Copies of this chain bind each other. A is one copy, B any other.
């Protein structure tokens, strides 16, 4: 790819002056239009050391309204970051809709600097390409403009620049051992860069190679590219059909979906109180021990609770955490997305709340809201919830690849049991707050939820993140099964890691 880059490209002083004014005006206009249309703009700057990334970013920054952009300088990951899946820190830095984010280095460090520094194996590098493609596709599907610049110079030019930088005491610090190493290993870097360009070019996230021998040329090409990309996106947005938000209709009747797999679970399963108390105590002790081992082995765990209204999620979570050291876990209740969250791709808030390695995050409701309540109520478009199955399995796969223990519970009760619990709640004064008109309304949509739940179980129960259905007509039974499932999953992970147990 890089052999067809003409590094002799230059632009005259007069041409520069002639076009730059116009481009600056258009860029300003772009920023206002992107803000108004709610289009996030993500610009990635990669390239050779001393190729002029900083200068290109500065040039953009001079023109952009500073309230509307942020520059993210990507350095070696710090401890907080190393204890999370590696894409975590980039998810964290996503701009809200309407804003610009400029990345000085980026997620591509993983397949360049870290890979060539032997910190990332070949197979981890393949995995990284795949995760990058997933990330960028999710951004594009959300409507972001994504442009990636590769600033290209040849080996001689780089050497010349290093020398010049070294001569000036004010800039000598910019050239160290690692910079000279890149120059010495120019061909190795070049091969890796070409592979990267090939593996991660896509229509929705193109690489733009910038002939970076002359600074003026770089400035014009970068600003011009950004302007054209944003203008196009704004036009496309304006002519796109309006999204349709429609509640799910009652499922068509068909003998093929009269019964579902949910009907196969035996809701008559129970446990007697005495047995329950004994087992609960044992399990809580076991979990306390495991929580510590998990911490020592630096394994993160994510536990998801989903289920019918009044199925007993809260009480179940309470029993799970009661014996745990509160420094080691966090319960994350999930409601409708807030304003800030709505300005980002759907999974953003869940990425942000991922536990540090060694810690446990317990989600009371979760990202599955997208394919449950949002689907049923029409809070998202059909395209969005359909896409979500894939986005979710990709998300969980990335967590699993990082070594995360994933346990997902669906608390299953039947409609009769739900009715009994709703009525009981209304009758008992101290429980009355727990029941709202929403609950009664959801209940009327039982059939829609049933279809959504079955679709969810079938499409998102994967080998790395399986669902466990808890037969929850008997709350006690469901609690014991949940705690046992968590304990076993943690034990498997710890044994797999080969960490000595206490």
**Nearest CB of chain B from residue A312's CB, rounded to whole Å:** 21
Query: Are the C-beta atoms of B6 and A255 separated by less than 8 Å?
Result: no
Closest-by-CB residue of B relative to A454 is: B4
Q: Which 9 residue pairs across A and B have the least CB separation, nearest first?
A: A6-B261, A15-B255, A4-B457, A11-B255, A221-B256, A203-B386, A4-B458, A4-B261, A198-B462
Closest-by-CB residue of B relative to A6 is: B261
Q: A1-B458, A195-B463, A390-B203 are in contact. Are A8 and B264 (CB under 8 A)?
A: yes
Q: Which residues of B are found within 8 Å of A241, using beta-carbon distances?
A: 241
Check: A466 CB closer than 8 A to any chain B CB: yes
Check: A273 CB closer than 8 A to any chain B CB: no
Closest-by-CB residue of B relative to A468 is: B3
Query: Are the C-beta atoms of B462 and A9 separated by less than 8 Å?
Result: no
Query: Are the C-beta atoms of A261 and B5 separated by less than 8 Å?
Result: yes
Query: Are the C-beta atoms of B463 and A6 separated by less than 8 Å?
Result: no
Q: How far is the CA of A202 from the CA of B390 in the complex (A)?
A: 7
Check: A194 CB closer than 8 A to any chain B CB: yes
Query: Are the C-beta atoms of B198 and A256 separated by less than 8 Å?
Result: no
Check: A78 CB closer than 8 A to any chain B CB: no
Give me 6 A-to-B residue pairs in the complex whose CB atoms sit less than 8 angstroms apart, sorted by A's number: A9-B256, A18-B255, A201-B389, A203-B386, A203-B387, A217-B255
Q: Which residues of B are found within 8 Å of A461, using beta-carbon distances?
A: 1, 3-4
Closest-by-CB residue of B relative to A467 is: B4
Of the four ranges (under 10, 10 to 19, 20 to 34, 35 or more), the interface on chain A belongs to 35 or more
Q: How far is the CA of A234 from the CA of B320 in the complex (A)?
A: 50
Q: A264-B6, A466-B3 are in contact. Are A201 and B256 (CB under 8 A)?
A: no
Contact residues of A with B, CB < 8 Å?
A: 1, 3-6, 8-9, 11-12, 15-16, 18-19, 191, 194-195, 198, 201-203, 209, 217, 220-221, 224, 241, 254-256, 259-261, 263-264, 386-387, 389-390, 393, 454, 457-459, 461-463, 466-467
Q: Which residues of B are found within 8 Å of A260, using beta-carbon distances?
A: 6
Q: How far is the CA of A225 from the CA of B119 in the complex (A)?
A: 48
Query: Are the C-beta atoms of A458 and B390 separated by less than 8 Å?
Result: no
Q: A263-B6, A390-B203 are in contact. Are A209 and B1 (CB under 8 A)?
A: no
Q: A194-B463, A458-B5 are in contact. Are A19 and B390 (CB under 8 A)?
A: no
Query: Are the C-beta atoms of B259 and A1 separated by less than 8 Å?
Result: no
Q: A4-B457, A6-B263 are in contact. Are A463 and B198 (CB under 8 A)?
A: yes
**Nearest CB of chain B from residue A383's CB, rounded to whole Å:** 8
Q: A6-B264, A462-B198, A466-B3 are in contact. Are A16 and B255 (CB under 8 A)?
A: yes
Q: A390-B202, A461-B3, A463-B198 are in contact. Are A224 and B261 (CB under 8 A)?
A: no
